[in-house]
Amino acid sequence: FETNVFGLAAVTRAFIPQMRDRGEGRIVNVSSVGGRITLPFFGAYNATKYAVESISDALRIELHSFGIKVVLIEPGAVNTEFNSVAFASEALTDGSHTAVSSPYAEVIAKMGPMRNMVEKTASKPGPVVRGMVHAIETRSPSARYVLPAYNTMGIFFKTITPTRLWDFVIGLATGLRNLGSSKRLKKADSPALTA
């Protein structure tokens, strides 16, 4: 949150007065497909990107009459070091959820193949960079750029799928659906709430 939300807000706040005085400006915020679709074990990261989405949507309306355009860049998986960081997050590697006694141990053990799949299907940085340059240089930018564009399909299916069905499918895909009722979780055991 310090980096993805509070830092972004502080930098934006520092430049808005000059843009307002000039009567023009452009704010390009980097969000993520993860700001529109939440996945298990990435709740904290997704929350920061949902916050960036909300702040940007509000600013776009608040600053429009001052000639300031606000644009969101929403990359999907990109072949960078981020994947290593994401899959090595505390919730997955601090030992509390990989221990044999953890109800998540079996699911966490399968994160390696999931990471490999993400890395194989991730785009190169080029399309994202070109999209950002376009968002900066074009006269009338869109409010959002999902990059690469094929990631719009996931957002579209999330939008039209009833929540219970979406949860069921994601639960099956991650193995979380089959943990069984005998492994009821206490609030503190949830990776989404791990500090």
Let me know how long the chain is: 195
Look up 50 and say whether it is catalytic. no
3-state secondary structure of 69: strand
In this structure, are residues 104 and 92 in contact, taking their beta carbons and an 8 Å threshold? no
Tokens of 78: 């990109």
**Active site residue: 49, 56, 69, 145, which one?**
49
Report the alpha-carbon distance of residue 177 to residue 179 in Å, rounded. 6
Tokens of 106: 């079996």
Spatial CA neighbour of 191 closest among 44, 29, 33, 6: 44
Q: What angle do the packed helices 8-22 and 43-63 form, to 10 degrees?
A: 10
* Coil, helix or strand at residue 93: helix
Task: Indicate left, alpha or beta for 67 from its phi (over 0: left) and psi (-120 to 50: alpha).
Answer: left
The question of whether 31 is a catalytic residue gets the answer yes
- Does 49 participate in catalysis according to the annotation? yes
| DSSP assignment letter at 123 | B
Residue 95, CB-side half-sphere exposure with 13 Å CA sphere: 0
Q: Which residue is catalytic, options 32, 45, 69, 104?
A: 45
The residues annotated with a catalytic role in the active site are: 31, 45, 49
